[in-house]
C-alpha cells in the first residue's frame, strides 16, 4: 500500500511513518517544518520528505492519506484530499487498526512526563526480554528510533548464566506488547476525540493531570472528561496505574472505574520511593510497604522518580519483576531534548529541554537545582506551545522560573500577550529578547564558568542551544 503522511515530521506522525514502512508499505510525506531529530530518522529509513503542503505532493494519488492533527480546513493538501475524494484516516485510527488491534497495549497518559515514562517502560520491557513495540513522542537514546513494531513476545533472552528466559503467553498464545505515548490532544480536524481513545489499552498509566491545550479545552474539567473516556475503555482484566498524589486524577476515577487500580507516589500509594539522594539520582523502591531495591540512574528530579515508579508498576502489571526493573534503570538513557546536555565549554554546561507547561518548567529546574546546588542557572525561554502563546499560563510562568538566576525570555513580535508581567514577576532576573539572535547574544554575555544554561521550548527554537554552545566555543 502507498501511504502519504501529512505532518510527517511531527514526532507522532513520524513514528506512524516508520511503523508503516516496517510493515512493508511504501511511505512518503509532507510537512511545513522539517528539522531533526525526526527528519534525520525518516531520511535514514529512506522515507521521502516534501516541504510544504502542495496538492502536487499527492499526485499520483496514494492509496491512503494519513492526516496529522496539526492540519485543518484551508490547508491546500487537506482541500485536495477532500475535493479528490482520496481515502484518508487519522494517525491514531491508523495505528489502532493496523498495529494495536492484535497487541497487548500499554498506554502512558498525562499532562507531563509521557515521553520519558513511555521510553522508560519500553526499556524496562526490553531489558526483561519482552522485545516490545513502541511509539514514543521523541527519539529514545536506548533505541535510537522513535517507533518499532517489536517482537512477537515469545523471544528468549540469554541470562548471565547462559540459561534462557521464556516469555509469558496469554490464552496459550504469544503475548506481543506495544507501548504507546497516549496524548489527550485531539485526533484530527475531522475527529475531535482525544488521540488515546483509539488505542484501547490493557494497561493505562495516568501520570498527572493539569490544565493545558487551551486551544481546544475550555477548562480542566473538559480534560478530565477525556481522561475518563480512556478509563472507560480499559478492560476489567487490565490495570490502571495512577498517580496517588494527583487530586484531579482521583476526581476522574470517582466518575466511575471498572478496572483494578494501583497507585504510585513518593509519599503515597502502593508503589513508593524513598529518596536516598536529594536530587533523585538514587532512591529505594517499595511495593505494598516492602522495600525492594535501590535505584541509581542518570536522571534527576522528583518528577523523574515519579515517572520511574509509574514505569516499574506498569511493567510489573505484565509480569516483569520489579527488582529487575529497578536494576534496569541504571542503563536507561533519556529521550533527546529532555534536559539533554548538548555541550560544555569553559566550565559552562548547556542543556536543551522540551518545555511546554509551567509545572514541567518548575520541576525540571528544581531537579537541576537539587543537583547543582548554589551554581547559577540561566534560562533561555521560548513560549511556543499553543497554550503558552495564547497566554493561558502567563500568570504561572514567573513562579515556575523561581530556581533560575537569570532568564532571557523570547518575546516575538507576534506573541499576542504582554510579556512585561512575566518579567516583572522575575524581580530583576529577567529580560526580553526580540529574536533568537538577541537571546543567544544576551546569554553569551551573561554566562560565566560554573553556570548551567538551559534552553526551554517545545519547538525547534531555531537551534538556539547549539548556536549558543558554538558561540561559547568561539569566545574561548
- Rounded Cα gap, residues 473 and 467, in angstroms: 10
3-state secondary structure of 119: helix
Please give the DSSP secondary-structure letter assigned to residue 463. G
Q: What grid cell was written down for 85?
A: 475524494
Which residues partner with 381 through β-bridges?
A: 409, 456
- Rounded Cα gap, residues 413 and 41, in angstroms: 33
> Among residues 180, 251, 265, which one has the least CA distance to residue 219?
251
For the stretch 373-411, what's the b/e string if a residue is b when 16 or more beta carbons lie within 10 angstroms of its beta carbon? eeebbbbbbbbbbebbbebbbbebbbebbebbbbbbbbb
Q: Cβ–Cβ contacts within 10 Å for residue 52, how many?
A: 12
Domains, the chain, ordered by start: 2-90 (3.40.50.720), 102-331 (3.40.1190.10), 340-475 (3.90.190.20)
Q: Yes or no: say if 56 and 4 are a contact pair by the CB < 8 Å rule.
A: no
Q: What grid cell was written down for 178?
A: 506495544
What is the model's pLDDT at position 158? Answer: 31
- Print pLDDT tens along the chain (476 aa): 999 999 999 889 999 999 999 999 999 999 997 766 678 888 888 999 999 999 999 999 999 999 999 999 999 999 999 999 999 999 999 999 999 999 999 999 998 889 999 999 999 999 999 999 999 988 888 998 899 999 853 333 333 333 334 344 444 444 799 999 999 989 999 999 999 999 999 999 999 998 776 667 778 899 999 999 999 999 999 999 999 999 999 999 999 999 999 999 999 999 999 999 988 999 999 999 999 999 999 998 888 999 999 999 999 999 999 999 999 999 999 877 778 888 888 899 999 988 767 888 888 898 889 889 999 999 998 886 555 555 555 677 878 888 999 999 888 766 666 777 778 888 889 888 889 999 999 999 999 999 999 998 877 788 888 999 998 888 76
- C-alpha R_g of the chain: 22
Could you please report the per-residue DSSP string of 238-252?
Answer: SEEEEETT-HHHHHH
What is the model's pLDDT at position 394? Answer: 66
- pTM value? 0.81
- Rounded Cα gap, residues 300 and 354, in angstroms: 16
- Rounded Cα gap, residues 378 and 433, in angstroms: 14
Contacts of 373 (CB under 8 A, 6+ apart): none
Q: What grid cell was written down for 46?
A: 529512506
First and final CA of the chain: distance in angstroms?
54
What is the model's pLDDT at position 412? Answer: 75
What is the model's pLDDT at position 428? Answer: 86
Q: What grid cell was written down for 414?
A: 507576534
- Rounded Cα gap, residues 342 and 216, in angstroms: 34
Q: Yes or no: say if 29 and 91 are a contact pair by the CB < 8 Å rule.
A: no
Amino acid at each position: 500500500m502507498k501511504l502519504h503522511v501529512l505532518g510527517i515530521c511531527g514526532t507522532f506522525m513520524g513514528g506512524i511513518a516508520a511503523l508503516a514502512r516496517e510493515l512493508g508499505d511504501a511511505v512518503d510525506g509532507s510537512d511545513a517544518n522539517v528539522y531533526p531529530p525526526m527528519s534525520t530518522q525518516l531520511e535514514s529509513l529512506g522515507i521521502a520528505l516534501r516541504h510544504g503542503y502542495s496538492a502536487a505532493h499527492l499526485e499520483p494519488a496514494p492509496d491512503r492519506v494519513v492526516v496529522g492533527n496539526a492540519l485543518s480546513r484551508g490547508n491546500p493538501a487537506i482541500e485536495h484530499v477532500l475535493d479528490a475524494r482520496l481515502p484518508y484516516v487519522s494517525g491514531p485510527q491508523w495505528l489502532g487498526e493496523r498495529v494495536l488491534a492484535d497487541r497487548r497495549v500499554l498506554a502512558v497518559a498525562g499532562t507531563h512526563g509521557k515521553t520519558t515514562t513511555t521510553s522508560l517502560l519500553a526499556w524496562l520491557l526490553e531489558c526483561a526480554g519482552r522485545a516490545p513495540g513502541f511509539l514514543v513522542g521523541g527519539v529514545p537514546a536506548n533505541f535510537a528510533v522513535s517507533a518499532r513494531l517489536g517482537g512477537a513476545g515469545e523471544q528468549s533472552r540469554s541470562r548471565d548464566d547462559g540459561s534462557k528466559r521464556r516469555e509469558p503467553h496469554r490464552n496459550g498464545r504469544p503475548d506481543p506488547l506495544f507501548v504507546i505515548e497516549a496524548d489527550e490532544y485531539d485526533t484530527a480536524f475531522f475527529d475531535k476525540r482525544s488521540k488515546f481513545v483509539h488505542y484501547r489499552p490493557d494497561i493505562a498509566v495516568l501520570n498527572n493531570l493539569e490544565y493545558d491545550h487551551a486551544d481546544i479545552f475550555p477548562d480542566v474539567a473538559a480534560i478530565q472528561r477525556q481522561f475518563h473516556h480512556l478509563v472507560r475503555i480499559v478492560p476489567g482484566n487490565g490495570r490502571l496505574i495512577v498517580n496517588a498524589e494527583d487530586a484531579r486524577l482521583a476526581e476522574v476515577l470517582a466518575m466511575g472505574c471498572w478496572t483494578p487500580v494501583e497507585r504510585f507516589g513518593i509519599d503515597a500509594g502502593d508503589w513508593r520511593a524513598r529518596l536516598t539522594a536529594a536530587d533523585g539520582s538514587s532512591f529505594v523502591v517499595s511495593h505494598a510497604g516492602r522495600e525492594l531495591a535501590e535505584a541509581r540512574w542518570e536522571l534527576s528530579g522528583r518528577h523523574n522518580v515519579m515517572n520511574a515508579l509509574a514505569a516499574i508498576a506498569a511493567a510489573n502489571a505484565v509480569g516483569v519483576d520489579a527488582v529487575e526493573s529497578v536494576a534496569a534503570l541504571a542503563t536507561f538513557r533519556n529521550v533527546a531534548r529532555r534536559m539533554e546536555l548538548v555541550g560544555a565549554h569553559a566550565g559552562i554546561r548547556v542543556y536543551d529541554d522540551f518545555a511546554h507547561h509551567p509545572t514541567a518548567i518548575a520541576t525540571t529546574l528544581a531537579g537541576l537545582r537539587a543537583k547543582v546546588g548554589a551554581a547559577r542557572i540561566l534560562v533561555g525561554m521560548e513560549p511556543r506551545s499553543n497554550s503558552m502563546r495564547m497566554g493561558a499560563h502567563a500568570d504561572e510562568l514567573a513562579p515556575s522560573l523561581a530556581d533560575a538566576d537569570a532568564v532571557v525570555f523570547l518575546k516575538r513580535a507576534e506573541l499576542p500577550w504582554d510579556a512585561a508581567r512575566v518579567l516583572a514577576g522575575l524581580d530583576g532576573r529577567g529580560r526580553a529578547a526580540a529574536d533568537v539572535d538577541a537571546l543567544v547574544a544576551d546569554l553569551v554575555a551573561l554566562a560565566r564558568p560554573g553556570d548551567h544554561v538551559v534552553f526551554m521550548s517545545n519547538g525547534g527554537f531555531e537551534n538556539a542551544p547549539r548556536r549558543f554552545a558554538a558561540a561559547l566555543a568561539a569566545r574561548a
